[in-house]
Amino acid sequence: MILQLEDIINIEAHFKDDEIKGVIEFLLRAKYIDKVLHNVGFCVGLYDILEVKNKEILKGTGEIRFKVIFRLVFFQPFENEIVEGFVKSSDSNGIIISLGFFENIRVNCANLKEPKEFDSEKREWYWTYEGIKFFYTKNELIRVRILDTYFSDPNEANKEEAIPSMSITGTVQQDGLGLFIFVSILVNILQFLKYRQVVDKMVENNRVIDTKWGKETICSMVNLGEKYNLPFLT
C-alpha cells in the first residue's frame, strides 16, 4: 500500500543545495520507516519524494524549514490475505509469527489446526496427524491467513511521545495453511497413495510398471516416513 503524505522538515542551513534532497530523505526514513502510522499500517519504505517547497530560513536557529510531499510504502494485509513467515515464539495462548520486517502476527490457540495440544515442557504447540506430533518449532516456515488488524490508541495525555502499535491475528485451520512441512507431507502422502492405486491396478491387469519412477517414489516416501516417524509410509 502506497500513501501520499505531507510533513514539515527542518535541516541545518550549512547543507548545499545538491545535498538537501538526500538529507530530507534520510530524515524521512528515520522518522517513518519501521514505525506504525495509526490506522494506516507499518511503514516499510520511502517510495519517493514528490515535491520540496516553501523554503523558510528560521532566524536564530541555523535551520531551514521545508514543506515536503512524499509517498511511503506501508504493510497492512487485508482480511483473508495469505502471508508466509516463520514461527517466532509460542506460549500457552498461541504462537507468534514473524515476517522478518514485522513481528506481531498472533495465531491464537483457537485458530490452530485440530487436534492440537500445548507441550508445557517444550513450551510449544503441536498438531497431531495419524498419531504423529508436528511441533510449531521456532523458525519453522509457516503459511497464515489474516483475520484482522488492530491498532492501539496513541497516548491521549502525550500524543507526541506515544508510539502507536499494530497487531494482526491469523489462522492456520484452512487446508493449505500451517507449517510448510505439514503441507509438504500431506501432498507427498496423497501422491504416494495415488501411485499405489495405479500400481495395484497395473498388477491386477498384468501390466509392466515403470520401475525407475516407482522405485524413486517409494524410496522418497520411505525416507520421509523414517525422518518424521510415519509408520504408515515405512
Domain count across the chain = 2
H or E element that contains 184:
helix 180-204
Last residue of a domain, one of 163, 181, 199: 181
Predicted TM-score (pTM) of the model is 0.69
148 and 128 in a common domain: yes
Rounded distance between C-alpha atoms, residue 74 and residue 218, angstroms = 47
Rounded distance between C-alpha atoms, residue 114 and residue 129, angstroms = 9
Q: What is the DSSP letter of 154?
A: P
For the cut 50, the answer to whether the pLDDT of residue 234 exceeds it is no
Handedness of CA 176, 181, 186, 188 (dihedral sign): positive
In a domain, 36, yes or no: yes
Cβ distance 102 to 118 under 8 Å?
Answer: no
In this structure, of 107-111, 137-141, 168-172, 192-196, the range with the lowest mean pLDDT score is 192-196
Measured CA distances, 178 to 46, 70, 139, 171, 182 (Å): 32, 38, 13, 8, 7
Last residue of a domain, one of 153, 181, 209: 181
92 and 175 in a common domain: yes
Rounded distance between C-alpha atoms, residue 66 and residue 54, angstroms = 6
117 and 47 in a common domain: no
Q: What is the CATH classification number for the domain harbouring 97?
A: 2.40.50.140
How many other β-carbons are positioned within 10 Å of the β-carbon of residue 28?
19
Q: What is the pLDDT of residues 115-173, one digit of tens each?
A: 999 999 999 999 887 788 889 999 999 999 999 999 987 665 455 555 558 999 999 99
Residues of the domain holding 98: 81-181
